[in-house]
Amino acid sequence: MDKIPQDLIQSLRALGLLESEARVYVALVMMNNAEVKELIDFLGLSKPGTYESLRSLEDKGLIVLVNSKPITYQAVPPKIGLEILIDTYVKAKEDAKDRFAALDTSQVKAQSSDSLWFVFNKKSIEHKIRDMLQNAKKSVFLIASDQYVKHLTPLANTNLDLDIIVFSDDPSAERLLKKVLKSDRAHVQVVNTIEVVRMLSKLNSLNQKEFMQPLEETFLMFNFNNILLLLVDDAEILSVPPLSGDGTIAFNLRNTHAIANMKLQYKAMATYIANERAN
């Protein structure tokens, strides 16, 4: 059995260490301090590879040379070591942001911002949602399943115009949402599965003919557990199609026609829900 948990190695690799560096660091944490020969025997690594990992870890500030004859190293305690790795990542992030901002794109022909779109995978979707909501200046339109409700909490004390429709079978969802988003500029509606079925069954009898197509596009799809349509400041859309399966993707675009269509979808759904509940 491996002396070092592989999931711990994977966590350290995600923080930027090479596998050999992660193994050496964990070994030193376990041993408190050790000579190079003891590390090689313990880990079964090559001598050159062990020395290279030790040099790299020392440069990163994760280990300290405590004796030169024989060469002996001690690990910085994990609580501090992890903070060092996170600080390194944050600094690299800020440096990269500055360099991206200064990137010279003058020699590259770019597409019009009105048609340019990006694709996000499951891992990056939530980061994009947070980024859009944190940078909202005027308004947020949202049609989504309740798995995305957690992102709305930071909007509680803002002066944004909020128009929100959430799909949820939790009977307390609407009350809780309205309690969190208590601004008089927040319009919140929660729709449950029974109401969705009723809407579908009555779709053909709607009087608002201009709403027929957007409602059909919205409701006659696949899986409301995944659906997300987020429009911020009438300028940028993030859309997660309501598809089944684990391969969740999102489309992000700044397109005037798509923005107008999403607002029409929201208006159609909000009007229909209000009419149904009034009858």
Q: Where are the domains of the chain?
A: 6-79, 117-278
User: Quick one: pLDDT at residue 1?
Assistant: 38
Q: How far is CA 158 from the centre of its chain?
A: 21
pLDDT at 205 over 60: no
* Mean predicted lDDT score pLDDT of the chain: 82
Residues 143, 196 contacting (CB under 8 angstroms): no
Amino acid occupying residue 71: I
pLDDT at 104 over 80: no
pLDDT at 221 over 80: no
E strand or H helix at 215: helix 212-219
pLDDT band at 86 (very low <50, low <70, confident <90, very high): very high
Q: Which CATH class is domain 117-278?
A: alpha beta
Tell me what the mean pLDDT of segment 8-22 comes to. Answer: 94
pLDDT band at 175 (very low <50, low <70, confident <90, very high): confident
CA angle 217, 219, 220 (to 5 degrees): 70
Tell me what the mean pLDDT of segment 158-162 comes to. Answer: 87
- CATH architecture entry for 6-79: Orthogonal Bundle (1.10)
Angle, helices 19-31 vs 6-14, to 10°: value is: 120
Tell me what the mean pLDDT of segment 192-214 comes to. Answer: 60
- 3-class SS at 72? strand
Tell me the Ramachandran region of residue 250: left when phi exceeds 0, alpha when psi lies from -120 to 50, beta otherwise. Answer: beta
pLDDT > 70 in the chain, percent = 80
CA distances from 252 to 9, 221, 233, 240 (A): 34, 19, 14, 9
pTM for the model stands at 0.63
- Residue 153 vs residue 242, higher pLDDT: 153
pLDDT at 258 over 90: no
pLDDT at 157 over 60: yes
